[in-house]
């Protein structure tokens, strides 16, 4: 049973128009009463839901004006009595109000503790609670939609359906084993095998969604590579719309890795600018080149930039082949940018296509060709891989592990059926799959798992 009352700044410690101090727990109303005053009356006997102008006090000292919101249990975010004080959004003001609330008997909330209470009070399941953070962290339209659909229970719904099937079969099996005179298992194994194959297919689909999901959540990890002076930093700046990276006519300008997030359409890219690759750089440059190769190793996409005004240099092709090898080894896609077309291009698209993968003609300086590049990225990473927005169900890394464990258990059951092992052996596997899926929704989650999930939350959520 949760007995204590918690409080935190829910709106983040940055200057903003309004700052919100959230109080939740059985003593939320008396605690708030001790630190707010109204023209008349108190919160103790307020309506179930209330919004009222008052003032936040520390003892007899007025700290700020505040709109006071009351949401009584169970109709609140946490399922407990909740009071929110909306004061002015200055970090200092909010701290003073929070201090006063703590003095009045609340305790500082741990990160994610409000949402953890919502979970413990049955307001949402574990995958929905995880979706709260995903929605806060969403960097693109796809990420937002995926998080919202998980928050609305789409993933939990599918997982629960599968669990339902597994438990129904287990119950039937056990009943039959207990009462073989009345319940026959003739032909049952075949029916069960067919059902488990369908379950497997669904699990596989969800696992696949997790792999796509990483790109949707975090953005396409895009590493810009090429020879010195090809225009890599200019390209980064073009995407950012500002002079973020230093650009000069001197080859070897960029020495270190530079990482920035950009958005276009419904997607997000993590763009990584690197040092131009050549043999004869100085010591600093050599370290930069090392880092460039390292970055390429965990890229989803490599943008290989070449200076077309220099013609089709042999060095460029050599480096391209090396980069392509690294990309292929690590499962990354490659797009070649034939850059500086504003200076005129001494070769055709056909010739570029023969030498390089996915060539896109572009001028990083003028922006010509940027749309074609975006189209290409969309084609490689999004088209046909993302279902319609409404059914955007994407499993996260943690969920994927449980799905994989469930797959292993279902496969065990299937091979037990195949080898004709007695029925009571498969119930163990079915229950195993059932329990792993339960860790996604939280039905079978232990305290340690729950704690590790909520520890990652931000303060005040």
H or E stretch including 6?
strand 6-9
182 in helix, strand or coil? coil
| Contacts to Mg ion from residues 193-232, by CB under 5 A | 232
Nearer to ligand GTP, 342 or 443 (CB): 342
Using CB under 6 A, which of 115, 149, 254, 345 touches ligand GTP? Answer: 254
Q: Site mask, ligand GTP, residues 192-231, x = CB under 6 A?
A: ----------------------------------x-xxxx
Instruction: Report the distance separating Cα 326 and Cα 328, nearest Å.
Output: 6
Cα distances (angstroms) measured from residue 284 to each of 253, 319, 434: 11, 20, 55
* Residues 6+ positions from 186 with CB-CB distance below 8 Å: none
Tokens for 30, please give them: 């008396």
Nearer to ligand GTP, 289 or 333 (CB): 289
Tokens for 239, please give them: 């995407």
* Residues 6+ positions from 285 with CB-CB distance below 8 Å: 252, 255, 275, 278
Q: Is residue 414 within 8 Å of 101, Cβ to Cβ?
A: no
Q: Does residue number 46 form part of the binding site for Mg ion (CB under 5 A)?
A: no
Q: Does residue number 274 form part of the binding site for Mg ion (CB under 5 A)?
A: no
Nearer to Mg ion, 319 or 416 (CB): 319
Q: Does residue number 252 form part of the binding site for ligand GTP (CB under 6 A)?
A: yes
Q: Which residue is nearest to ligand GTP (CB)?
A: 276
Nearer to Mg ion, 227 or 436 (CB): 227
Provide, rounded to whole angstroms, the least separation between the CB of residue 390 and ligand GTP: 41
Nearer to Mg ion, 254 or 345 (CB): 254
Candidates 58-66, 319-327, 363-371, 377-385; binding stretch for ligand GTP (CB under 6 A): 363-371
Whether the link from the prior residue into 74 is cis, omega within 30° of 0, is yes
H or E stretch including 27?
none
Nearer to Mg ion, 42 or 253 (CB): 253
| Contacts to ligand GTP from residues 123-152, by CB under 6 A | none
Provide, rounded to whole angstroms, the least separation between the CB of residue 245 and Mg ion: 6
Shortest CA distance to 335 belongs to which of 347, 318, 352? 352
Instruction: Report the distance separating Cα 170 and Cα 231, nearest Å.
Output: 62
412 in helix, strand or coil? helix
User: Which one of Mg ion, ligand GTP, none is in contact with 234 (Cβ closer than 5 to 8 A by kind)?
Assistant: ligand GTP
Place of tokens 């930039």: 305
User: Which one of ligand GTP, Mg ion, none is in contact with 228 (Cβ closer than 5 to 8 A by kind)?
Assistant: ligand GTP
Applying CB under 6 A, the residues found at the interface with ligand GTP are 226, 228-234, 247-249, 251-254, 275-276, 339-340, 342-343, 363-365
Applying CB under 5 A, the residues found at the interface with Mg ion are 232-233, 253-254
């Amino acid at each position: 049973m949760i007995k204590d009352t918690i409080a935190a700044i829910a709106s983040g410690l940055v200057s903003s128009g309004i700052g919100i101090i959230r109080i939740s727990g059985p003593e939320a109303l008396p605690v708030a009463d001790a630190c707010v005053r109204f023209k008349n009356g108190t919160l103790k006997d307020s309506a179930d839901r209330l919004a009222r102008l008052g003032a936040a006090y520390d003892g007899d000292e007025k700290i700020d004006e505040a709109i006071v919101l009351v949401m009584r249990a169970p109709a609140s975010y946490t399922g407990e009595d909740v009071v929110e004080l909306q004061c002015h959004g200055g970090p200092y003001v909010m701290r003073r109000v929070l201090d006063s609330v703590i003095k009045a008997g609340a305790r500082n909330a741990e990160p994610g503790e409000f949402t953890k209470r919502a979970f413990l009070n049955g307001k949402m399941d574990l995958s929905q609670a995880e979706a709260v953070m995903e929605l806060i962290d969403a960097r693109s339209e796809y990420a937002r939609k995926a998080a919202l659909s998980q928050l609305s229970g789409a993933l939990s719904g599918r997982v629960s359906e599968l669990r339902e099937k597994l438990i129904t079969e287990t119950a039937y099996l056990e009943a039959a084993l207990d009462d073989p005179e009345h319940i026959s298992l003739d032909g049952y194994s075949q029916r069960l095998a067919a059902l488990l194959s369908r379950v497997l297919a669904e699990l596989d689909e969800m696992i696949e969604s997790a792999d796509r999901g990483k790109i949707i959540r975090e953005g396409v990890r895009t590493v810009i590579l090429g020879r010195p002076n090809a225009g890599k930093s200019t390209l980064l700046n073009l995407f950012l719309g500002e002079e973020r990276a230093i650009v000069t006519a001197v080859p070897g300008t960029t020495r270190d890795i530079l990482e920035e997030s950009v958005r276009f359409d419904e997607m997000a890219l993590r763009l990584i600018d690197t040092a131009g690759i050549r043999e004869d750089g100085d010591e600093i440059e050599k370290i930069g080149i090392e880092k460039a190769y390292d970055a390429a190793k965990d890229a989803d996409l490599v943008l290989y930039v070449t200076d077309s005004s220099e013609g089709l240099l042999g060095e460029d092709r050599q480096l391209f082949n090396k980069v392509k090898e690294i990309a292929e080894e690590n499962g990354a896609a490659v797009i070649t940018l034939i850059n500086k077309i504003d200076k005129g291009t001494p070769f055709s698209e056909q010739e570029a296509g023969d030498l390089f993968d996915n060539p896109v003609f572009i001028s990083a300086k003028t922006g010509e060709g940027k749309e074609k590049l975006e189209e290409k990225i969309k084609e490689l990473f999004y088209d046909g891989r993302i279902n319609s927005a409404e059914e955007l169900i994407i499993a996260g890394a943690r969920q994927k592990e449980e799905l994989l464990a469930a797959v292993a258990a279902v496969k065990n059951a299937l091979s037990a059926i195949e080898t004709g092992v007695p029925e009571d052996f498969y119930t163990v596997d079915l229950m195993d799959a059932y329990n792993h899926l339960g860790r996604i929704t939280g039905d079978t989650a232990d305290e340690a798992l729950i704690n590790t999930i909520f520890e990652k939350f931000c303060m005040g959520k």
